[in-house]
Amino acid sequence: MGRRILVTGFEPFDGMTSNHSWDVAKACTAGPMANFLTAKLLPVDQSGSLQPSEEISSGSFDGVLMLGAAYERSDVCIEVRAKNKLDMEKEDNSGRKITSIIEKDSQNHLETTYSRHLIDELVEDHDDLKISHDCGNFVCNETYFRALSAEIKNRREGVEKDPILFVHLPPIERISFDRQVILVRTLLKSMIFTPKLDVVGALIKDEFGRVLACRRPPKDQWSGYWEFPGGKIAEGESVHSAVEREILEELCITVSALDEVSRISHRYEDRIVDLRIIDCGVVDPNSIILTEHDMLRWLEKDELDDVNWLPADLPIIKEWMKGGIP
């Protein structure tokens, strides 16, 4: 079962003959996920800025993806925040040109309700996707802020959190129209369906049989949590090749993957993780150089619960504390 998503684009403004944000929105909603998507054209004025928030308040959709054209951008930009301010340097289509706050008694900034963890992974996987913290000062930012504000009000009333996101599209001379449609569809797929990630972790021991645990660094989505070193299995990559690659990237050591010793499926709020733990043998602790974590520890069996493990890793740790380390 997928979520119902509203996809919006804007009409032309400021002398434009067309606005490709609407063309991309229509193309996406005509594709294979059409049953879950509805496209809506927004006027470039205050009435248009209110329409997504009104749809959110009515509960008609389970999420909203708003698209806007940004002709100074070179990449498809995922906006992660909106500010409570209008500072219009040009008129909108109603002739409005103002500087003011958008909503009284509201915060200065509102953050996207779409998973930041998934945003980071999407940006990591696509060179032409970028994160932006500045949605501008025009109707795009106004629309985004009102939509996020409406979603927050819904949550106060007990409604489940819905993904609300704004994406700025560069000129099609910089990134082709077809490529922009592909990237937006990738975002939409993760909004409609809970993503499933195939992940591999390494069981690495020292000469005393202690288990290596690594801590996520500051600013990471799970900062301060501990995990088995490892990561996502790339498309077409074997489990053993993936764990060997990840350990080389994260620890700067070469290991030989052996047997799978544990496997678990864990559902996070924003994704499902299928985690496999692969025995990677014994290594010299002095050979490790951390590139993606800020701390490591070598843990005896009775010390395994001394650190705060990621939720997906924790059932494996509990099992090993009862039955022994493989």
Which class would CATH give 196-323? alpha beta
* Cβ–Cβ under 8 Å, residues 80 and 132: yes
How far apart (Å, rounded) are the C-alpha atoms in residues 175 and 177? Answer: 7
Identify the pLDDT of residue 112: 95
Residue 297 has φ and ψ, to the nearest 5°, of -140, 150
How far apart (Å, rounded) are the C-alpha atoms in residues 260 and 266? Answer: 17
List, as one string, the DSSP characters of 72-99: T-SSEEEE-EEES-EE-SS--TTS---E
Identify the pLDDT of residue 117: 85
Identify the pLDDT of residue 246: 97
Identify the pLDDT of residue 158: 55
Identify the pLDDT of residue 268: 87
Q: Which fold has domain 5-192?
A: Aminopeptidase (3.40.630)
Q: Which helix (H) or strand (E) holds 169?
A: strand 164-169
Strand, helix or coil at 154? helix
* Strand partners of residue 257: none
Q: What is the token pair recorded at 302?
A: 């009775």
* Cβ–Cβ under 8 Å, residues 264 and 256: no
Identify the pLDDT of residue 220: 81
Identify the pLDDT of residue 189: 93
- Annotated domain spans of the chain: 5-192, 196-323
Q: With b meaning 16 or more CB within 10 Å and e meaning fewer, what string describes 60-76?
A: ebbbbbbbbbbeebebb
The per-residue pLDDT string of the chain (326 residues; one tens digit each, 9 = 90 and over) reads: 789 999 999 999 988 899 999 999 999 998 789 999 999 999 999 999 999 999 999 989 999 999 999 999 999 999 999 999 999 999 999 999 999 999 998 999 999 999 888 899 899 889 999 999 999 999 999 999 999 999 988 876 555 678 999 999 999 999 999 999 999 999 999 999 988 889 999 999 999 999 999 999 998 878 999 999 999 998 899 999 999 999 999 999 999 999 999 999 999 888 899 999 999 999 999 999 999 999 999 999 999 999 999 999 999 999 999 999 99
What is this structure's pTM?
Answer: 0.81
